[in-house]
Amino acid sequence: MKRKLFKVFFIALLTFDAAVSAQAQEDTVSKNSRLTIGGYGEAVYNYNFYSDNVFRYSHADRYTESKGHGRVDIPHAVIMLGYNMGRGWSIGTEVEFEHGGVEVAVEKETEETGEFEQEVERGGEVALEQFWVQKSFNRHLNLRMGHIVVPVGMTNNNHTPDHFFSVYRPEGENTIMPCTWHETGISLWGRAGAWRYEVQLLPALNSNLFNESGWVHNGSSSPYEFRPANSLAGAARIDYMGVSGLRLSLSGYVGNSFNNDITTNVYSESSRYYGALGTVLIGSFDFDYHNPWLLVRGNVDYGYLGDAGLISTRNKNQTTMTGNPYPHTAVGKGAYDASFEAGIDLLSFAHYRIGGRRLYLFGRYDCYDSYIPASGFDNIGWTERQVLSAGINYYPLKHIAVKAEAGIRKFNGNYNDEPFVALGITWVNFNMK
């Protein structure tokens, strides 16, 4: 009887798979364009009219006359590959080189008895941001498994440089949350009319990596060859696009972060850490609106960390032995950020939008705080900031933009203002043929 039921179930599953495959093919790419090649990148120069000394906040009076410093950078250079396998199955990958990647060389030192020495010639990171397999049943139901982007907040969901006017990624979200946030997990997503939804099951963040300057920003990283996953977390997003040119979105995250590391500590009932969970809650609202001459974007994010006082105490008391990859700072019980930007396409008034040309004159405002202290911990004024900037984005072609921005960063306290200018060139193309 069991064998017969199993046979019926197996046949029904195959029949269902075959029935939805034709619809899935229509909702993905056509048979003649199964391979998708794309990517994006940025090259940047910026000059900061303030000191880069590590003590510029704790001893602000010493650095009021700083001449500033200039930098060049390649924040992101990304290669994306996708392939439609047929019958609703597809794969996707994204490899990112941050800040030029890492260059390591072996040299023979003539002044050190001729010994060979390995040196790091350039700092940077190489990251596998996406690596997934997807089964598309229809436009309403898609299952994605592997290494995926966590779409919490505006920047994580739209992190390519054509989705923000600033030269660098929006400062607030890029400070308090992982950005771009990517985890190995499972995602269920789909579309229904003007709505798009997505829910994900992921490994939780690691509270050992939280700090005062970035809240939970580093919590998704791992110094090991694997990602600890003693606790699981959930993320969700819903987008509404029922009004022409307008998108409204809500997203969120919940997961316990305490003891989610390479080793777990068992605490007795008498321990101060007994029962600590370190629950991370993040809620986000973001939107964008565009018409032929105007483009407006904005977001608000708020995060809460349970047991922040206990986590701060534990993190500050961690061993300082050589090679310890953890910060030794407190972490706030909360963090927030809000931003708004608006740009006007000047070429739309001049009737000169030929071949995708656009010239946006924009203004932008950010405010955020990465450290709302837990009870018993002192406030840190320099973590609460406001950033005002303005500039231009010129698109000579649809996929290429030249950006220029000037702005100033202000603090809640007796700290020096931080004016800056930045220039950048970017490209974005998701289907190069």
Instruction: State which residues form the domain around 377.
Output: 44-101+118-268+275-429
Residue 298 belongs to some domain of the structure: yes
* Range name among 2-16, 103-117, 336-350 with the lowest pLDDT average: 2-16
Residue 263 lies in a domain: yes
38 occurs within a structural domain? no
Q: Is the pLDDT of residue 16 over 70?
A: no
Q: Cβ(188)–Cβ(350) under 8 Å? A: no
302-326 exposure pattern, b = at least 16 Cβ within 10 A, e = fewer: bbbbbbbbbbbbbbeeeeeeeeeeb
pLDDT, one tens digit per residue, over 364-416 is: 999 999 999 999 998 988 999 999 999 999 999 989 999 999 999 999 889 99
The tally of domains found in the chain comes to 1
Residue 174: pLDDT over 70: yes
Residue-level pLDDT at 320: 60
CA nearest neighbour of 232 among 253, 256, 251, 216: 256
* 330, part of any domain: yes
Q: Which of 199-208, 241-250, 309-318, 356-365 has the lowest mean pLDDT?
A: 309-318
The CATH code of the domain that includes 257 is 2.40.160.10
Instruction: Give the tens place of pLDDT for each residue, 17-73.
Output: 444 443 444 444 444 579 999 999 999 999 999 999 989 998 999 999 888 999 999
| Average pLDDT along the chain | 87
At residue 117, the pLDDT reads 58
Tell me what pLDDT residue 20 has. Answer: 42
The confidence score (pLDDT) of residue 30 equals 45
362 in a domain, yes or no? yes
Instruction: Record the pTM.
Output: 0.88
Residue 373 lies in a domain: yes
Q: Is residue 25, in this structure, part of any structural domain at all?
A: no
| 5 domain residue, yes or no | no
Mean pLDDT along residues 90-109: 79
Quick one: pLDDT at residue 105? 62
